[in-house]
Structure 1
Amino acid sequence: MAKEIPAKGIAPLEVPLTHVVRAGDMVYLSGQIAVRADGTLVKGDFAEETRAVLDNIKAGVEAAGGTLDDVVKTTVFLLNATLFQPMNAVYREYFTKPYPARSTIVAPLSDPDLRIEIEAVAYIPEHS
């Protein structure tokens, strides 16, 4: 049975989803956006937006008892393809080889001020 993992450092939700869900040894993180824990959106500098998103991913994985090394898959949503290389530069600050498997999709996002969203899957054994 899946269970919600409360994640400190991630803004409270106003939409019907859970930030972090554990199902056995798998931990699923909903798409994270560039929002701080106080609910303010990070705007302007794309590198800072990307760091805010990845900080939220990190907080969610840590809440489940893991680290970013436990992330096995990410899906990155970008507003446009020109953001691909700048995103990769910041992504390398957070993940090291072997990198998680990743898909990158260019698509409009749910808010006109958003340029990036990332979801993740981690393998974190419950009884390690």
Structure 2
Amino acid sequence: MKKEGISPERIFEPMGWSHAIKTGNTIYLAGMVGFDEHRNIVEGGFEAQTIKIFENIKLVLEAAGASLEDVVKLNIYVTDMDNIVRFREIRSRYFSPPMPASTGVEVSKLILP
């Protein structure tokens, strides 16, 4: 099976991984964080970071020849489930029905940021 690593230059450089792997018509994205292209945390809190995450996902998908319309599944990890309503509002700006299948999980800590 042929694998192609996808790490576009317009987002932060990954630290030992690919932002995505494309094999055939399937694209697997790594977890995204609210970093700008210089690996700085985007200021503005949860909302600004979530918007940046979706913008980064768009860039990775475009580099792989896809778009947000091709996304079928989202896994969401938050450290405070109180943010999930704001997350859903932001997500609805990027996706239209049928919405991707989604799983939301509250965790005690994220590796980054």
Fold match, TM over 0.5?
Answer: yes
**What is the root-mean-square deviation of aligned Cα atoms in Å?**
1.2
Other-structure match for 1:64: 64
Identity of aligned residues (%): 26
Counterpart AA for 1:74: L
Consecutive unaligned residues of structure 1, counting only runs of 5 or more, are: 115-128
| SS state at 2:98 partner | coil
The Cα offsets for residues 39-59 of structure 1, whole Å up to 9 and x where unpaired, read as 211133321110001111111
Is this contact kept in 2: 1:58–1:68, CA < 8 A? yes
TM-score w.r.t. length of structure 2: 0.91
| Alignment size in residue pairs | 111
TM-score w.r.t. length of structure 1: 0.81
Q: Which runs of at least 4 in structure 1 moved beyond 3 Å after TM superposition? A: none
1:26 aligns with 2:55: no
| SS state at 2:28 partner | strand
Aligned counterparts, 1:47-126, within 5 A: 47-107=47-107, 108-111=109-112, 114=113
Which protein has the bigger strand share? 1
Counterpart AA for 1:98: P
| SS state at 2:37 partner | coil
Which protein has the bigger helix share? 2
Other-structure match for 2:10: 9
